[in-house]
Structure 1
Amino acid sequence: MTEKTNQEVVDTTALQVGDIVTGEVTKVDAKQVLVNVGYKTDGVVPISELCSVHIETASEVASEGDKLQLKVIKLEEDDLVLSKRAVDAANAWSDLHAKFNNGDIFNVVVRDVVNGGLVVDLGVRGFIPASLVEKHFVEDFSDYKGKELAVKIVELEEEKNRVILSHRAVVEAELETKKKSATESLKVGSIMEGTVQRLTDFGAFIDLGGVDGLVHISQLSHKRIEKPSDVLELGQTAKVKILAVDVENGRISLSMKDAQPGPWDTLGDEVQVGAILKGTVRRLVNFGAFVEVFPHIEGLVHVSQIANKHVKNPNEVLELGQIVQVKVLELNKAEKRISLSIKEAQEEEIQVDLGKYQPTQETTGFQLGELFGDKLKNFGK
């Protein structure tokens, strides 16, 4: 093919089918455009040869005075038929291959909405399937006609004149970039506010402003819960502490209970070593019993501290839910640990009662067992 200017093609014998010529639009009709290329008559560009996509009228893509590059597709006496579409396609493919190979993102204007997606003009027909338009489901695409979208080529087959584009891939890449940036800005140990996005059996996902973190069910509350919905609902604002950040995998571990005062944080100073407390037996294990002395605070009564006699298994003398008095042997708030003793609490109670007893002449002859009854009886057990 050779390219000729207006002046070069005044000699009609020099013009041939396949030549590329430059002409000026002299008239725009509804279904065709007339172009002066220096031939004895104006050439005709049918509407089907104006654009790679469907258009209703020629004025959508051409105006009088426009300079167009055209290909001669028919030349018979006074009949000169030209194609803008053929030139655009030939010029487009090399550019499209480069964009595809480089993964370039570029803007297009939606020229038509068809069944199954959107059509754009790239010099050749480009198609955006409905599933590749947005990250979310779109029921009606009618508002997309004339809209500019950022896209990238996901499939390219020149032999089949096939160009598949995706706007969704661009959106997802942008979100991934924002997510990574947001994740990198998070600091382990910091306290943040987020919004409950999703509840599952194993925890809750909290939106921290473009990035979601997981609060495992064990980190939702200081008290035991059966399911996340016991303490949270969708859309609720929640204060969380960042436990761990995995930038590479985009995983963020959060804790709600660490972001609020726990029972150990509010434990009063009146609780000291030597204090006598009342508690409830919550768990029995081979090595002792766990006694709840304050809401959600349990201390361990070692098996050797249950009674003044040898106890092989705690369930020999204790049962779940039983109320007992215990003495604080050790207290470590930092490690959230209390060591308790039932037998020392009983000993101290007896010592106090003995101190109150002052024998008089009237009481001479009474036995201690008659005065303290079951206290001495239980003491040796």
Structure 2
Amino acid sequence: MTEEFNESMINEIKEGDKVTGEVQEIEEKQVIIHVNGGKFNGIIPISQLSTHHIDNPSDAVKVGDEIGAYVTKVEYDEENETGAYILSKRQLETEKSYEFLQEQLDNNQTIEAKVTEVVKGGLVVDVGQRGFVPASLISTDFIEDFSGFEGQILKLKVEELDPANNRVILSRKAVEALENAEKKDKLLESLSEGDVIEGKVARLTNFGAFVDIGGVDGLVHVSELSHEHVKSPEDIVAIGDSVKVKIKSVDKDSERISLSIKDTLPSPFEAIKGEINEGEVIEGTVVRLTNFGAFVEIQPGVQGLVHISEISHSHIGTPGEVLQPGEAVSVKILSVDPENERISLSIKATLPDENIIESDSATTQSYLNDNSEDEDNPTLGDVFGDKLKDFKF
């Protein structure tokens, strides 16, 4: 009977059970617990006190604390009828942590966690256990040095849970992406065509510059970088430059924003008032060709149009037959419209008419080279007859 009684008492609390108790004593490498409803006290080794590394048991608990733990082993000395429950507070904390994290993952919720350590591959965070934020999931932007994150409390989303391998992967990048999307929607709603705002050059392409105007990138086409002809965006701006831009158009559905730096700058036409006049012949450079003519730059940022009909005295099918970009030409100013910033030019007016020259030259040469003594050639007398007889010299 006594043996059966003792066995039943021992089996009241068994390995794997969850128990509660009060911290009675803190030793150097373990904590003594009075287990509620148990025959023996419980012992929690320092390694099982917390999901984080601690140097002293007092870093995790203090005398009088009521705590929960799992029974990992039951030790019993039959001879002396003494025993102890070996407990793990860490195991219980890990289980609760996984339950919480799984709930957040299922509901796509955001949590907060403190960065406890910065390692080569990312950030270690406290989520009730050791969580990890890989370098690739720290930010939507490239970050080379993570050291500034140590000690910070970050907003995170749960990416992956694997209790069997003690694996908890979290993402700050997912939170940033969501915040950026919300910020983008608000910004797109607030933008209007004609607004002039500040931005920062984010990246360059051969066709223009993308400018960050507050979480959203807009494109400044190469033709909108300057009043002057621009060969390459790198000639005008650099990544990181702060610039003033004017909004030309906003397509909220496609999230495309067209910007202009040129429209925020003084017009070069203001600087040429009174300097160029109709009828003047000046030098210029062909900057581009169209099917209807050629645009010629006559001063930095100031272009005029040479209509195809004003390029040559001869008929041409396209401007490219006689002109090419970069070519220096003389042009005559036909008209200046400062209000609409339009200048009409003519190359033809600076050139002699080859057809007329050839015609005149042929007639002159024919006359000069005519040494014929043909009697049939008429004389003045033959032409005017008797009308000359009364003329007195």
TM-score, shorter chain, exceeding 0.5? yes
Displacement after TM superposition at 1:261 (Å):
3.4
Aligned equivalents of 1:293, 1:203: Cα separation in 2: 24
Aligned equivalents of 1:251, 1:316: Cα separation in 2: 38
Which of 298, 301, 316 in structure 1 is aligned with 2:304? Answer: 298
Normalising by structure 2, what TM-score? 0.69
Provide, for residues 239-258 of structure 1, a one-character-per-residue CA deviation record: whole Å limited to 9, x for no partner: 32112234455432211122
In structure 2, stretches of 5+ residues that fail to align are 1-8, 77-82, 362-393
- Work out whether 1:226 is the aligned partner of 2:231: yes
Aligned equivalents of 1:143, 1:286: Cα separation in 2: 59
Displacement after TM superposition at 1:259 (Å):
2.2
Partner SS state of residue 154, structure 1:
strand
Partner SS state of residue 280, structure 2:
strand
What residue in structure 1 maps to residue 369 of structure 2? none
Provide, for residues 2-25 of structure 1, a one-character-per-residue CA deviation record: whole Å limited to 9, x for no partner: xxxxxxxxx666333332221011
Aligned equivalents of 1:317, 1:21: Cα separation in 2: 96
Identity %, equivalent residues: 37
Displacement after TM superposition at 1:321 (Å):
3.6
Whether the 8 Å contact between 2:310 and 2:348 is mirrored in structure 1 is: no
Aligned equivalents of 1:287, 1:136: Cα separation in 2: 47
Q: How many residues are matched?
A: 336
What residue in structure 1 maps to residue 104 of structure 2? 99
Normalising by structure 1, what TM-score? 0.71
Partner SS state of residue 58, structure 2:
helix
What residue in structure 1 maps to residue 87 of structure 2? 82
Tell me: CA distance 1:290–1:18, structure 2 relative to 1, closer, same or farther (3 Å): closer
Tell me: CA distance 1:156–1:377, structure 2 relative to 1, closer, same or farther (3 Å): same
Whether the 8 Å contact between 2:329 and 2:347 is mirrored in structure 1 is: no
Provide, for residues 29-53 of structure 1, a one-character-per-residue CA deviation record: whole Å limited to 9, x for no partner: 2321111114444210112222234
Displacement after TM superposition at 1:106 (Å):
0.7
Displacement after TM superposition at 1:143 (Å):
6.6
Q: How does 1:108-147 map to 2 (within 5 A)?
A: 108-112=113-117, 116-134=121-139, 135-139=141-145, 141=147, 144=150, 146-147=151-152
Whether the 8 Å contact between 1:264 and 1:333 is mirrored in structure 2 is: no
Whether the 8 Å contact between 2:334 and 2:344 is mirrored in structure 1 is: no
What residue in structure 1 maps to residue 330 of structure 2? 323
Aligned equivalents of 1:182, 1:378: Cα separation in 2: 67
In structure 1, stretches of 5+ residues that fail to align are 1-10, 347-375
Amino acid corresponding to residue 303 of structure 2 in structure 1? I
Displacement after TM superposition at 1:235 (Å):
4.5
Comparing 219-228 and 179-188, the one that deviates more: 179-188
Partner SS state of residue 230, structure 2:
coil
Aligned equivalents of 2:195, 2:299: Cα separation in 1: 29
Amino acid corresponding to residue 165 of structure 2 in structure 1? K
Q: CA RMSD in A?
A: 4.1
Aligned equivalents of 1:332, 1:143: Cα separation in 2: 57
Q: How does 1:35-46 map to 2 (within 5 A)?
A: 35-38=33-36, 39-46=38-45
